[in-house]
Chain A
Amino acid sequence: MSEQQSLLQLKGITKIFSRGTVDEVTALDNINVDVNSEDFITIIGSNGAGKTTLLNIVAGVYPPERGGKIIINGNDITNLSEYKHARYVGRVYQDPHIGTATKMTVEENLAIAIMRGKTRGLRAATNRQRRELSRSVLAPLGLGLENRLNALVGTLSGGQRQALALVMATMSKPAILLLDEHIATLDPKTAQIVLELSETIVTQEKMTTLMVTHNMELALRYGNRLIMMHEGRVVVDMNQEQKANLTVNDLVIAFERASGKKFDDDSILLHHN
Chain B
Amino acid sequence: MDFFTSLMSTSVYEGLVYGFVAIGVYFTFRVLSFPDLTVDGSFPLGGAVAAILIINGANPWLATLAALAAGVCAGLGTALLNTKLRINALLAGILMMVALYSINLMIMGRSNIPLLREVTIFDHVAQALGMRADINLSIIVMVVFSAVTLFVLNWFLHSEIGLALRATGDNEQMVRGLGTDTNMTTILGVSISNGLVALSGALVAQNQGFTDVGMGIGMIVMGLASVIIGEGIFRPRKITTILLAVVGGTFAYRLFIGIALRLGLPPTNLKLITAVLVIVALAIPYIRKKIRHEWVPPAVRM
Cβ-closest chain B residue relative to A86:
B179
- Contact at A83–B156, with CB atoms within 8 Å? no
Interface centre among A82, A84, A97 (most CB of B within 10 A): A82
- Contact at A123–B177, with CB atoms within 8 Å? no
A residues near B (Cβ < 8 Å) are 59, 81-84, 86-87, 91, 97-104, 108-109, 111-113, 115-117, 120-126, 168
Other contacts beyond A112-B178, A115-B160: 18, CB < 8 A: A82-B177, A83-B180, A86-B179, A100-B171, A101-B167, A101-B171, A104-B167, A104-B170, A109-B167, A112-B164, A116-B178, A116-B179, A122-B156, A122-B160, A122-B161, A125-B159, A125-B162, A168-B178
| CB proximity of B6 to chain A, nearest CB, Å | 40
Indicate if B174 sits at the interface (CB-CB under 8 A).
Answer: yes
Complex Cα distance, B156 from A179, in Å, reads 34
- List A contacts of B159 (CB < 8 A): 121-125
Indicate if B53 sits at the interface (CB-CB under 8 A).
Answer: no
- List B contacts of A98 (CB < 8 A): 171, 173-174
Complex Cα distance, B166 from A84, in Å, reads 20
Interface residues of B in 175-233 (CB under 8 A from A): 175-182
- Contact at B171–A125, with CB atoms within 8 Å? no
Q: Given A98-B174, A102-B170, A104-B170, A112 and B180 touching (CB < 8 A)?
A: yes
B residues near A (Cβ < 8 Å) are 155-156, 158-164, 166-167, 170-171, 173-182
Complex Cα distance, B181 from A116, in Å, reads 11
Complex Cα distance, B127 from A128, in Å, reads 47
- Contact at B160–A102, with CB atoms within 8 Å? no
Complex Cα distance, B178 from A83, in Å, reads 7
- Contact at B175–A112, with CB atoms within 8 Å? yes
| 8 nearest CB pairs, A to B | A86-B179, A125-B163, A101-B170, A120-B160, A101-B171, A116-B179, A122-B159, A125-B160
Complex Cα distance, B166 from A108, in Å, reads 10
Cβ-closest chain A residue relative to B159:
A122
- Contact at B160–A83, with CB atoms within 8 Å? no
Interface centre among B155, B160, B166, B176 (most CB of A within 10 A): B160
Which of A100, A112, A117 is the one whose CB lies under 8 Å from B163?
A: A112
- List A contacts of B170 (CB < 8 A): 101-104
- Contact at A121–B160, with CB atoms within 8 Å? yes
15 residue pairs A–B, Cβ–Cβ below 8 Å: A81-B181, A83-B179, A84-B179, A86-B179, A86-B180, A101-B170, A101-B171, A103-B170, A104-B167, A104-B170, A112-B164, A112-B178, A124-B160, A125-B158, A125-B160
Interface centre among B166, B167, B173, B174 (most CB of A within 10 A): B174
- List B contacts of A59 (CB < 8 A): 177
| CB proximity of A167 to chain B, nearest CB, Å | 12
- List A contacts of B181 (CB < 8 A): 81, 83
- Contact at B167–A120, with CB atoms within 8 Å? no
| CB proximity of A146 to chain B, nearest CB, Å | 20
- Contact at A91–B161, with CB atoms within 8 Å? no
- List B contacts of A87 (CB < 8 A): 179
- Contact at A86–B178, with CB atoms within 8 Å? yes
Interface centre among A59, A116, A120 (most CB of B within 10 A): A120
Q: Given A83-B181, A87-B179, A101 and B174 touching (CB < 8 A)?
A: yes
Complex Cα distance, B167 from A125, in Å, reads 12
Q: Given A101-B167, A101-B170, A104-B170, A123 and B179 touching (CB < 8 A)?
A: no
- Contact at A100–B176, with CB atoms within 8 Å? no
Complex Cα distance, B45 from A51, in Å, reads 51
| CB proximity of A57 to chain B, nearest CB, Å | 14
- Contact at A111–B178, with CB atoms within 8 Å? no
Cβ-closest chain B residue relative to A152:
B237
- Contact at B176–A82, with CB atoms within 8 Å? yes
| CB proximity of B184 to chain A, nearest CB, Å | 9
- List A contacts of B164 (CB < 8 A): 112, 115, 120
- List B contacts of A125 (CB < 8 A): 158-160, 162-163
